[in-house]
Chain A
Amino acid sequence: MSKMHVKLNVNGREVEGLAEPRTLLIHFLRENLRITGPHIGCETSHCGACTVDLNGKSVKSCTVFVAQANGAEVTTVEGLVNDDGSLGVIQEMFREHHGLQCGFCTPGMITRAHRLLQENPTPTEEEVRFGMAGNLCRCTGYQNIVKAIMASADMLNAQKEAAE
């Protein structure tokens, strides 16, 4: 099969590459672009370890062909650090509230939490659990992930208020 020319904006930078249309977005990110934060935890689209933000939507990048994503804007966990390279708010809160152990689900968790808090800046605990239901974790039992996201919401809202 012939390769196609793919152009994406990933974490604010224009990137291009050649890939077969069947290449999954997760493989293109990890293998062509060496953006290895997003992970692969299954082959049935359940685990969400590969979650990235694609044109403002949380998407499992194992279930998108790179051909479908051609021209899209993608944000991965690597793009969620502050401009000075320090941890973003959600990343910092996962650290502070022990929202990770092995760290394999964490990039997908944080990228999903980023979109969830854009859409619902003041979620209840129940809304956080439901809003994160596409992401599996084998280590934490979820409790501390929920705490980290609730704390992120508070901090982001406080920052927004301070800026106004």
Chain B
Amino acid sequence: MSRVLVGVKRVIDYAVKIRVKPDKTGVVTEGVKHSMNPFDEIAIEEAVRMKEKKLADEVIAVSCGPAQAQETLRTALAMGADRGIHVEVSGAEYETLQPLHVSKILAKLAQEEKADIVFVGKQAIDDDCNQTAQMTASILDWPAGTFCSKIEHGQGELTITREVDGGLEVVKVKTPAVLSADLRLNEPRYATLPNIMKAKKKPIKKVTPKDLQVDTAARIEVVSVEDPPVRQAGSILPDVDALVGKLKEAGHV
């Protein structure tokens, strides 16, 4: 039996078309719909399924961020996590919070909470870093099962199918381990209304990086954030012949 710590991040909803701020310091987040990072939903779902199969005793959801991160934690609790930890980081400190900092926080919490598995999504869809699982494992000196599409539980080990460039790869990792969820690991459930109500009573503990003795000093300075180059408008062609003509003209065929 084991304890699973799941990292969840509040990000701008995946369907939103983001806008870059005119002063090029970042993207507009005020008044924009946010939700749980889609890969983290998959991580929570998998952890809850482990509990349902009696492979885990307890699922703890962790989120680093400003006060609104609690909404994301409540979503995780409504999906079946037992309790939450909100690592409060806001303002300028949150602007420059990097996967390295989050990894140190998760590693510290994994030790404090005696977790056997730390689970995160393979990447956050805002910074697109794809670093946190790997770095958390590195700090803890645990193995990492990254980009998981299937997890089989054994005695003190997990057999993991990973999504790699040419297809799939199978590795066996010893527990404790850090895992990152790929899209095809599972289909996350919707939280039902009774579960959303129940989640309001589940405990969320508040801590700060300082409490955990994690230094969040900025290692990377964001010089600017800009719009990508805009593609020139194309044309709608009347038929296949016109398309063949255009492709020939451009030397593609």
Are the chains A and B members of one assembly? no
